Amino acid sequence: MNICVFGAASDKVDKIYAIETEKLGYQMAKRGFGLVYGGGATGMMGAIARGVKSGGGYVHGVAPKYFDTPGILWKDSDKFTFTDTIRERKQIMEDDSAAFIMTPGGVGTFEEFFEILTLANLGRHKKPIAIYNIAGYFDTIVELVDKGVKEGFISSDIYGDFNIFTDPEELLDYIANNAK
């Protein structure tokens, strides 16, 4: 089973994020999970790919052709798919995955996560969605969702569509028990 992991490409962040993301990747591989991700060589993307690969796991990178410049993409993937657009990239990542994990990132990571969450909330898929909340990075996203529910902008059903974890083993247990 493949898990799609969303995360930052930036390596200009505190190293704890990459260290913990790489550990998550290693644990994914040890449980027999493969990785589908945005193909990046740096940041959380590079960390998750290195972790999965170091654990003996399968890595499928997916990226638009225009990202194929020196130092941007991780070339040690078992499979690499080039697309013309970001939208095509996201569709392949969605189709090739049985679950989703969001690791720390920026607007691109948020956009990917909220699209997948929206699709789940609309009943378009029933794949588990997890947030890996390293060092409290996503605490304010939880507050944002809570405020949206409180103010009536978001149905409380949303809480059944994703879960938040600080422990990678609990996160992977959740996926193992809920992915088909």
- Mean local confidence (pLDDT), 43-53: 98
Q: Does residue 161 carry a pLDDT above 90?
A: yes
Q: Does residue 58 carry a pLDDT above 90?
A: yes
- pLDDT band at residue 118 under the 50/70/90 scheme: very high
- Mean local confidence (pLDDT), 110-130: 97
- Mean local confidence (pLDDT), 91-119: 97
- pLDDT band at residue 166 under the 50/70/90 scheme: very high
Q: Does residue 160 carry a pLDDT above 90?
A: yes
- DSSP per residue, the chain: -EEEEE-----SS-HHHHHHHHHHHHHHHHTT-EEEE--BSSHHHHHHHHHHHHTT--EEEEEEGGG-STTTB-TT-SEEEEESSHHHHHHHHHHT-SEEEE-S--HHHHHHHHHHHHHHHTTS----EEEE-GGGTTHHHHHHHHHHHHTTSS-GGGGGT-EEES-HHHHHHHHHHH--
At 180 the pLDDT is: 84
* Rounded alpha-carbon distances, angstroms, from residue 24 to 133, 150, 160, 166: 12, 33, 23, 11
Per-domain boundaries in the chain:
2-178
For residue 5 the two structure tokens come to 């992991």
- Mean local confidence (pLDDT), 39-56: 98
At 8 the pLDDT is: 97
- pLDDT band at residue 87 under the 50/70/90 scheme: very high
**Beta 163-165 vs 99-102: how paired, if at all?**
unpaired
CATH class for the region spanning 2-178: alpha beta
Gap between the Cα atoms of 95 and 151, Å rounded = 33
Q: Does residue 110 carry a pLDDT above 90?
A: yes
Confidence (pTM) = 0.97
Write down the mean pLDDT value for the chain. 97
